[in-house]
Amino acid sequence: MTGAAEDLRRTACGGSAHGGSAHGDSAHGDSAHGGSAHGDSAYGSLPRKEDARFIRGKGTFVDDIQLPGMLHGAILRSPLAHARIVSVDTTAAQAHPQVEAVITGQMLAERGLAWMPTLSRDVQAVLATDKVRFQGQEVAFVVARDRYSARDALELISVEYEPLPPVIDAERALDPGAPVIRDDLPGKADNHIFDWEAGDQQATDAVFAVADVVVAQDMLYPRVHPAPLETCGAVADLDPVTGKLTLWSTSQAPHAHRTMYALIAGLPEHKIRVISPDIGGGFGNKVPLYPGYLCAIAGTMLTGRPVKWVEDRSENLMSTSFARDYHMHGEIAATADGRILGLRATVLADHGAFNATAQPSKFPAGFFHIFTGSYDLQAAHCQVTAVYTTKAPGGVAYACSFRITEAVYLVERMVDLLARELGMDPAELRMKNLLRPEQFPYTGPTGWEYDSGDYPRALRLAMEMAGYDELRREQARLRERGEYIGIGLSFFTEGVGAGPRGQMDILGLGMADGADLRVYPTGKAVLGISVQTQGQGHETTFAQIVAQELGISPEDVEVVHGDTDRTPFGLGTYGSRSTPVSGAATAMVARRVRERARIVAAAMLEVAPADLEWAGRRWQVRGDPDQARSMAEIAMAAHSALELPDGVEGHLDASMVYNPPNLTFPFGAYICVVGVDPGTGEVTVRRFIAVDDCGVRINPMIVEGQVHGGLADGVGMALMQAIVYDENGNCLGGSFMDYLLPTSAECPSWELGTTVTPSPHHPLGAKGVGESATVGSPAAVVNAVLDAISPFGVRHADMPLTPANVWSAIQGRPQRTDLAVT
Amino acid sequence: MQVPAHVDYEKATSVEHALALLARFGPETRVLAGGHSLIPMMKLRLAQPGTLVDINGLSELSYITVTEGELRIGALTRHAQLLASAAAGAHFPILHDAEQVIADPVVRNWGTIGGSLCQADPSEDLSAAFAALQASMLIQGPAGSRIVPAREFHTGPYETVVASAELLAEIRIPVRPGGGSAYQKVGRRVGDWPVCAAGAAIWLSGDTITAAGIGLTAVGAPSFAAAEAEDFLRGAPATEASFRRAGQIAAEHCHPVSDQRGPADYKRHLASELTSRALAVALRRAQERELAGDQQPAQGEDERQGDGRVPGRGGVPGRGGAPGKGGAPGKGGPPGKERVQGKGRVPGKGQEPGKGRAGPRGA
Amino acid sequence: MQITVTVNGIPCTREVEPRLLLIHFLRDELGLTGSHWGCDTSNCGACVVWLDDTPVKSCTVLAAMADGRRVLTVEGLGRAGRLDPVQEGFAACHGLQCGFCTPGMMMTARWLLDHHPDPSAEQIRAALSGQICRCTGYENIVRSVLWASRHEAGQHGAGQHEAGQHEAAAPRAAGPGAGETRGALP
């Protein structure tokens, strides 16, 4: 089936005029790195195993789960951004005939459950007790027999609030006399969270002092929201007899969640089972613990029955982890002929009412200090100040690779602004400054060690695919006719696959992930991994890795994930870490199995293990192909009565924990072509060329799918997405009518290219890719729009570049997009 | 997902039955046609009717005909049917232009013309289109039927002259020889409410405009029309300069409000820009029609839709938006209404029941 | 009130509240969890099913409005155990990642191909423009529909979705682990 299906796909799915699948200069992109040199590779664009259930509508998402006696929960949320809670009266709600329980903050407080730790070592209210601190904050939880009654009962709860002034403008949050939001923290007298810096300030200042050209720009990366199509939710079921809590939830990190529930709720960890069933998209939105999950747990503890809580879309947009909200000031220093010397950035980070960002704990501003980008700089320095505001908590989410989205946007805008200042073509300026292949591995001015890359080759390929020179000529011709197209570039370096554990932990849990592999007597394999797919195709890709290492078919490998009872511990899927970390763990554990198989095969063939060589699908005696054993034969023997030598105890099972030595550094060159109608400000994305290099690609089809999705994110963020609050603290982005997402009509047909620069430290030479396109694309779209309207004297305008904003920018009045329009 | 409050339900079997039900259950009753304006409001609990009168079975209200010199559209006609109607498109391309940018293809399958008009959103595209065409509405009530000009149909945001015991039954547009019409809309994304949209219909004698209709939506134009601009165009030469001036006049007489779709000055600019663009396209179509040989209104063209069921066909929509623009066509616009404080329920509501906008278009 | 809705060819009679939304009727009453919901404002299209012969957003339709009518869901696609070409196309062309928007996309695609057997990529994009996908960037969804349009030979037409020729309404979902997790494409 494999070969035929793959042929079918390749010949029939190509589609676009620019070549459907990878159009690249690499002939080796699809082949394995190291490992097997013979026979059919298990790598390639294998159709996905998980599709069988989804195309039939037979997936199991959290809201699909129905248990006997299950109750439904609903959350009452604050309509105010900042207020004291005077009283909460649940009498009428409790009297509703379908209501089983009503839980308040007070009730949770009596059990020590009203507050929970966040992933950034702050605390967050599960249900508010003293104050509410953002519109949409959780105040009470109703448990009823059906979801409609739960919703009705919310209206029967009476809360008396004493309004307080909200803090909406992050730039005012540290003003003397600003209302103090976090008076729950002992001694807290302001809205400051932390300061953080990286790089060498002195060296950077020195470089700026002698530069011929310095360009400075304020820019905003607006508050956006990942908005996976499936909202967050959980079904909590505490078995009163065994005391075991089973929690189905939309979690990208089920093991980490299990440990946190044990710590928060005081439940023994071995009596907690967290199951992430099918998840309808994560994008970082499903990494944190949310009050609703804790409420569902409290509900099942109280009622002794399963309790389901699934949020509405408005709840998702207004209370779960948003992304970005970085107010950045960038400066770039260069020589007169376009050699970039240094970069500086200061950032004001709006974290909302609680510091609940999810990133490795030693990096409170995530990996923002990779803002030096893909260029050969002498010095750089950045400084981040984080503040509280009366808005939903969050900030690290939405395929950001821990703030690399913000970093890449900043540097790619600064490079374009420098090009504008110098009168240089932005592609030429980039080409002049990109790191050269011979500089790798490269340690940058803020400490990152990039593993491998050939940047100029990727940029050249993108320009060739785009027909860059012809596009510039066309742009000139159209301008003479009063028509405006823009060509925007973005070159990005990503850092993904967090680990190593010594540097990277979340709440003290080291970011190393396990894999365990069992091979059954008939040669079928079951792989348990700790990462959690939300659509990335792990059931297929990881089967391919095992298949490749063991010389068996991917059909003979079952991938188990998402159930903490059945899989090894790990920190989950986000930050594009699945292939770099769990992919490595999988390859390594499969190699351990293969080495055990060597010893068994040697016993079967009555030779020494050193006499055998791996022939792609079999262990065979060197130089004697007739003396060989396949993995299936070896597996049966490993379970048999065969006398085994030292070094193998029997069976072929193995487990390991992979501690990555470094991140992996995928990169890419993107070119976006837009048309702008200056009379209305409307933008059309005409073309988008994306060259990505994520090292060895195990399943190119899946890789390309990941890129496609991220490119749509770029169009959306650049042109239409923003969560904005008005001066009273009302969230103006609380529905899909207000928070606009791109549809098939706004997206062009993506044109993809590939180069392959393997990672030298990854066992497969692979790098992550899931977030690359989201990281790289917004700058390309923004640079394109600004390029289109530069004849009108526009230097910069912030995302989202809505028609109103574009037109206003053309009039010389670009909008401030973090505040409500006035 | 949010869910409606309790409500009672009656299914009407005829227009007379529907009127009787409306009268019987009183002012807390709402007509349920496509439901794509009403049900979203009910889910957000901005609307909490006491009883719904489901009229989806009233096939006698679903038709598009040309009769007695008028294009007549039954109120239960679905948006998709109007978009697919050859007669409507031939006589009034403005209606196809507008329908292509209303909501999205799936919503258009079920939302109705009557429902959208009775929802009376200040950004409703059809309100502007029918205003430009000087349409009139046929309203059925207990005492019989009455006709109200489109420009007198709306009495304020989300309010029309249709009384609680009445039913909008039909929209009529006089068919006159020659002429051209067009609709131009700007939005932030497909399927959304307009930031501003303008519809234009003109008739010529030689190169002189003999009659003009200009409709505007989302910018607070009185009666969704630009009457002063129309007055200016009557007797004026059909030139770009006239259209520019008409646009300016239209912009001067509307009252846009700043919101997340854009600041008021931008919307006012669009009122001007889109009016003149719509006029230019309308002129081109009028000229093309004249070259093709002027068509007399065809009698008896009849597109009945059968038993009121959703049709099996529907035009495959193009990209929406009129040609001649460099920008993205057919994008829509507006967020819902802003929030108020102090209510003990999920924030994001705050509107009084019965008002406000909560979902896509076409009831 | 009592309603009878013919779902995937099977008449289903249930006692419901008038306010019950069709999507909840299908998912919670009938256990047909293949159709999903993802928003509050009729924007996302995860809930698209056919009402009589046309795709509608079932979150914006009352179950009562479907009384006496026919509904087709993803569980009713295909015929006598065979997948519909649209389903095969989505699997062949990687038109899905998390799978949450997929049933709605397929229902609209199926309708499109029934009425426009040879659509252009632009027509496909326009037809799907009322439905959101967060994973695929739409490219492979378009390719999937194009694939299906080219592989319809012998299975063309709306007739295959008529009553009696497709899977019956499934029983209510059984709880944890429910749903097939294996099964290669036919």
Convert the pLDDT of each residue in A550-591 to its tens digit.
Answer: 999 999 999 999 999 999 998 888 878 888 888 999 999 999
Cβ–Cβ gap A79/B359 under 8 Å: no
Q: Is residue B49 a contact partner of residue B281, using CB atoms and an 8 Å limit?
A: no
Chain C, nearest residue to B56 by Cα: C65
pLDDT by residue (tens digit) across A308-353? 999 999 999 999 999 999 999 999 999 999 999 999 999 999 999 9
pLDDT at A475 over 80: yes
- Location of structure tokens 């079952």: A558
| Nearest CA distance, C68 vs chain A (angstrom) | 24
The SS3 of residue A51 is helix
Q: Which member of C37, C134, C177 has the closest CB to residue A283? A: C134
pLDDT at A649 over 90: no
- Mean pLDDT computed over C85-102: 98
Chain A, nearest residue to C182 by Cα: A52
Q: What is the pLDDT of residue B305?
A: 53
- Location of structure tokens 């929960």: A73
Burial-class residue A549 by CB neighbours within 10 Å (0-12, 13-18, 19+): buried
Of A791, A207, A216, A741, whose CA–CA distance to A480 is shortest? A791
B 298-357 → A contacts, CB under 8 A = 319, 325-328, 330-331, 334-336, 338-348, 350
Q: Which member of A78, A730, A740 has the closest CB to residue B189? A: A740
Q: CA-to-CA distance for B11 and B20, rounded, in angstroms? A: 12
C180 vs C34, which has greater pLDDT?
A: C34
B 135-194 → C contacts, CB under 8 A = 190-191
Q: What percent of chain C has pLDDT over 90?
A: 80
With contacts defined as CB-CB under 8 Å, which chain C residues touch B191? 43, 129-130
Q: CA-to-CA distance for A647 and A634, rounded, in angstroms? A: 15
E strand intervals along A110-210: 115-117, 123-125, 131-132, 138-144, 158-163, 192-199
Characterize the bridge pairing of strands B63-67 and B70-74: antiparallel
Of A686, A683, A756, whose CA–CA distance to A719 is shortest? A683
Q: What is the pLDDT of residue B349?
A: 34
Cβ–Cβ gap A12/C101 under 8 Å: no
Exposure of B350 in the CB half-sphere (CA atoms within 13 A):
16
Cβ–Cβ gap B107/C130 under 8 Å: yes
Q: Is residue C104 a contact partner of residue B302, using CB atoms and an 8 Å limit?
A: no
Of C130, C73, C147, whose CA–CA distance to C103 is shortest? C73
- Location of structure tokens 């995302």: A799
Q: Which member of A79, A136, A312 has the closest CB to residue B342? A: A79
DSSP C76: G
Cβ–Cβ gap B312/C108 under 8 Å: no
pLDDT by residue (tens digit) across B144-177? 999 999 999 999 999 999 999 999 999 999 999 8
B342 DSSP β-pair partners: none
pLDDT by residue (tens digit) across A673-684? 999 999 999 999
Q: CA-to-CA distance for C110 and C148, rounded, in angstroms? A: 9
Report angle CA C131, C132, C135 to the nearest 5 degrees. Answer: 140
B140 DSSP β-pair partners: B145, B167
Burial-class residue B292 by CB neighbours within 10 Å (0-12, 13-18, 19+): exposed
Q: Assign 3-class secondary structure to A348-399.
A: EEECCCCCCCCCCCCCCCCCHHHCCCCECCCEEEEEEEEECCCCCCEECCCC
What residue type is assigned to position B239 of the chain? Answer: T
Q: Which of C23, C24, C39, C129 to mutate to test the interface with A (most CBs of A within 10 A)?
A: C39
pLDDT at A21 over 50: no
Q: What is the pLDDT of residue B295?
A: 54
Of A579, A569, A584, A572, whose CA–CA distance to A532 is shortest? A572
Q: For all residues of chain B together, what is the average pLDDT?
A: 86
Q: What is the pLDDT of residue B14?
A: 97
Q: How confident is the model at residue B230 (pLDDT cuts 50, 70, 90)?
A: very high
The pair of three-digit structure tokens given for residue A638, joined into one six-digit string = 């490993």
Cβ–Cβ gap B260/A735 under 8 Å: no
Q: Is residue B173 a contact partner of residue B130, using CB atoms and an 8 Å limit?
A: yes
* Residue A483, number of CB atoms within 10 A of its CB: 16
Q: Is residue A527 a contact partner of residue A516, using CB atoms and an 8 Å limit?
A: yes
Q: How confident is the model at residue C79 (pLDDT cuts 50, 70, 90)?
A: confident
Instruction: Average the pLDDT over each of A271-280, A655-664, B40-49 and give the range with the smallest value.
Output: A655-664
Q: What percent of chain B has pLDDT over 70?
A: 81
Q: How confident is the model at residue B292 (pLDDT cuts 50, 70, 90)?
A: confident
Q: What is the pLDDT of residue A469?
A: 98
Q: How confident is the model at residue A6 (pLDDT cuts 50, 70, 90)?
A: low
Burial-class residue A342 by CB neighbours within 10 Å (0-12, 13-18, 19+): buried
Q: How confident is the model at residue B298 (pLDDT cuts 50, 70, 90)?
A: low
pLDDT at B317 over 50: no
pLDDT at A507 over 50: yes
Torsion sign over Cα C26, C30, C35, C38? positive
Exposure of B255 in the CB half-sphere (CA atoms within 13 A):
6
pLDDT by residue (tens digit) across A743-779? 999 999 999 999 999 999 999 999 999 999 999 999 9
Q: What is the pLDDT of residue A39?
A: 47
Q: What is the pLDDT of residue B357?
A: 59
Q: CA-to-CA distance for A776 and A225, rounded, in angstroms? A: 17
Which helix (H) or strand (E) element contains residue B292?
A: helix B264-292
Cβ–Cβ gap B191/C43 under 8 Å: yes
With contacts defined as CB-CB under 8 Å, which chain A residues touch B346? 76-77, 136, 154, 312, 314-315
Cβ–Cβ gap A63/C38 under 8 Å: no
How far does CA A544 lie from the centroid of its chain?
Answer: 23
Cβ–Cβ gap C65/B32 under 8 Å: yes
Residue A208: which residues within 8 A CB-CB, separation 6 or more? A214, A331, A333, A341, A342, A344
Characterize the bridge pairing of strands C48-51 and C70-72: antiparallel
- Mean pLDDT computed over A614-621: 94
Q: What is the DSSP string of A206-231?
A: HHHHH-SEEEEEEEEEEEE----SS-
Instruction: Average the pLDDT over each of A271-285, A389-403, B33-47, C148-162 and give the range with the smallest value.
Output: C148-162
Q: Is residue B161 a contact partner of residue B148, using CB atoms and an 8 Å limit?
A: yes
pLDDT by residue (tens digit) across C128-186? 999 999 999 999 999 999 999 999 865 544 444 443 333 344 333 333 333 322 222 22
pLDDT at A797 over 70: yes
Chain C, nearest residue to A55 by Cα: C87
Chains touching chain C, criterion 3+ CB pairs below 8 Å: A, B
Q: What is the pLDDT of residue C158?
A: 42
Task: Tell me what percent of chain C is helix, strand and coil, each rounded to the nearest 5.
Answer: 35, 15, 50
Backbone φ, ψ for residue A612 (5° rounding): -100, 150
Burial-class residue A178 by CB neighbours within 10 Å (0-12, 13-18, 19+): middle
Q: CA-to-CA distance for B225 and A117, rounded, in angstroms? A: 57
- Mean pLDDT computed over C13-26: 98
- Mean pLDDT computed over A16-25: 34
Q: Which domains does chain B have, with CATH numbers?
A: 8-175+299-331 (3.30.465.10), 179-291 (3.30.390.50)
Q: What is the pLDDT of residue C137?
A: 98
In angstroms, the first-to-last Cα distance of chain A is 60
Chains touching chain A, criterion 3+ CB pairs below 8 Å: B, C
pLDDT by residue (tens digit) across A113-162? 999 999 899 999 999 999 999 999 999 999 999 999 999 999 999 999 99
pLDDT at B340 over 60: no
Which helix (H) or strand (E) element contains residue A588?
A: helix A584-605
Of C172, C120, C175, whose CA–CA distance to C150 is shortest? C120
Instruction: Average the pLDDT over each of A55-64, A529-538, A629-638 and give the range with the smallest value.
Output: A529-538
Is the ipTM beyond the 0.90 threshold?
Answer: yes
The SS3 of residue A101 is strand
A458 DSSP β-pair partners: none
pLDDT by residue (tens digit) across A605-614? 999 999 999 9
In angstroms, the first-to-last Cα distance of chain B is 19
Characterize the bridge pairing of strands B302-304 and A158-163: unpaired
The pair of three-digit structure tokens given for residue A6, joined into one six-digit string = 């793959």
Residue A461: which residues within 8 A CB-CB, separation 6 or more? A24, A25, A669, A691, A753, A755
Q: What is the pLDDT of residue B358?
A: 58
Which helix (H) or strand (E) element contains residue A484?
A: strand A484-493
Angle between helices A772-789 and A803-810 (to 10 degrees): 40
* Residue B291, number of CB atoms within 10 A of its CB: 8
Chain A, nearest residue to B274 by Cα: A680
* Residue B338, number of CB atoms within 10 A of its CB: 18
- Mean pLDDT computed over A616-637: 94
* Residue A12, number of CB atoms within 10 A of its CB: 18
Of B227, B235, B226, whose CA–CA distance to B208 is shortest? B235
